Structure 1
Amino acid sequence: MSNRLFVFTGGTSGPWRVISARTLAGEGLQEVGRLHVRGADESPPAGASQWSLQGITSNERYVERAEKEQLVARQEGLARPEASCAALIPIRKSAAWWALTQDERRHILEEQSHHIRIGLEYLPAIARRLHHCRDLTQPEPFDFLTWFEFAPEHGNAFDLLLERLRASPEWQYVDREVDIRLTRDMA
């Protein structure tokens, strides 16, 4: 199995407790109380599951070399002890987005929306990992699963990050989005 394939299972078990789930565009997901995140080669969680989403980590598609170097230099890893808050944000973009060429999407993403520049402002406080769903052989209901982790004191900064991104021209192409907020149970 690939260590790049991740499965997000919403149900009755898992270390992440769902605080809220808000549908921002399109169809929502069934309400759950817990979330389990695992690599595809790990055992599924015990307990009942209502839904399962999977995505694979991949190469950066729209980032230029200088931007990548900045991101790598500032990004901190996931699973930091102090990062007890998280968000899973599954997103699907419209057919109009996918009809654009790679360079047209890059232009909207960074030249118009400043997606990367905005994200850099919130590093290292907010860590993230992007999972691509369109790269999988089986169809998934979303194009991307974005996983964020942050300490409770950075919750307002995370909200501001999302507000700025959602106000950008890029978000005109989002036709399904769910914002799931979580907190990790401390052992």
Structure 2
Amino acid sequence: MESRFTSFVGGPTGPWKIVSMRAISGNGMALASHLDLRDGLAEAEDVAWQLRGVASHLRYTNEAERNALASVQPGLGRPEARCAALIPIRKTAAWWLLAQDERRAIIEEQSRHIAIGMAYLPAVARKLFHARDLGEPFDFLTWFEFAPDHAARFDMLLAELRVSPEWDYVDREVEIRLERVT
């Protein structure tokens, strides 16, 4: 997979209207009325905030999981998916001191992160952006899209993930809910 850089820009304009922002863990973020997704990492001016990430290869999945995800994962930008959520997450220093195989064990063997997510496909499309190596304030930028009638299922997905052992390692999480304007 080719790496793709994306900037999430919170400001006065954009195709997504921000309907709510709340800190789940740690500090929140400056308020903005809209969100724009822009290709690349260029600095945005006169905005409340900008978060940058890269979509790259899947880092914690095995081959069987990758194939299963590919068979049911819908693409982003579906016309019926008028709702979205951007959830930036930062993990603790203790998380990053673990070896990759230890992190994988927490993610899937203990927390069932991938299995939980699979249960909500194809209703909820998702894409993960890595930001830690870019020096951003969050390690991951998680982007979800879904139809309004799947909002309750999305809430259930979040509730299941947030009680898993993996979330013991989250020290900052902000939930930004959006509706498509254009």
Bucket of the pairwise TM-score, normalised by the shorter protein:
over 0.9
Q: For residue 100 of structure 2, what is the aligned residue in structure 1?
A: 102
Runs of 4+, deviation exceeding 6 Å: none
TM-score (normalizing by structure 2) = 0.95
Over residues 116-165 of structure 1, what are the superposed CA-to-partner deviations in whole Å (9 max), with x where a residue is unaligned?
000000001110110001232xx110000000000000000000000000
Equivalent position to 2:58, from 57, 60, 63:
60
Identity %: 56
Q: For residue 125 of structure 1, what is the aligned residue in structure 2?
A: 123
Q: Quick one: structure 1 residues 122 and 63, their matched pair in 2 at CA, closer, same or farther if it must change by over 3 Å?
A: same
Equivalent position to 1:159, from 141, 155, 161:
155
Letter in structure 1 aligned against 2:82: S
Q: For residue 116 of structure 1, what is the aligned residue in structure 2?
A: 114
Q: For residue 31 of structure 1, what is the aligned residue in structure 2?
A: 31
Equivalent position to 1:77, from 68, 75, 78:
75
TM-score (normalizing by structure 1) = 0.93
- The answer to whether the 8 A contact 1:92-1:144 is kept is yes
Structure 2 alignment gaps of length 5 or more = none
How many angstroms does 1:89 deviate by?
0.2
Secondary structure at the counterpart of residue 79 of structure 1:
coil
Structure 1 alignment gaps of length 5 or more = none
Secondary structure at the counterpart of residue 35 of structure 1:
strand
CA distance in 2: counterparts of 1:71 and 1:131, whole angstroms = 16
CA distance in 1: counterparts of 2:24 and 2:155, whole angstroms = 14
Q: For residue 136 of structure 2, what is the aligned residue in structure 1?
A: 140
Q: For residue 22 of structure 2, what is the aligned residue in structure 1?
A: 22
RMSD between superposed Cα atoms in Å: 1.6
Q: For residue 10 of structure 2, what is the aligned residue in structure 1?
A: 10
CA distance in 1: counterparts of 2:113 and 2:76, whole angstroms = 20
Q: For residue 40 of structure 1, what is the aligned residue in structure 2?
A: 40
- The answer to whether the 8 A contact 1:7-1:54 is kept is yes
Q: For residue 93 of structure 1, what is the aligned residue in structure 2?
A: 91
- The answer to whether the 8 A contact 2:89-2:140 is kept is yes
Q: For residue 176 of structure 1, what is the aligned residue in structure 2?
A: 172
How many angstroms does 1:67 deviate by?
0.5
How many angstroms does 1:48 deviate by?
3.7
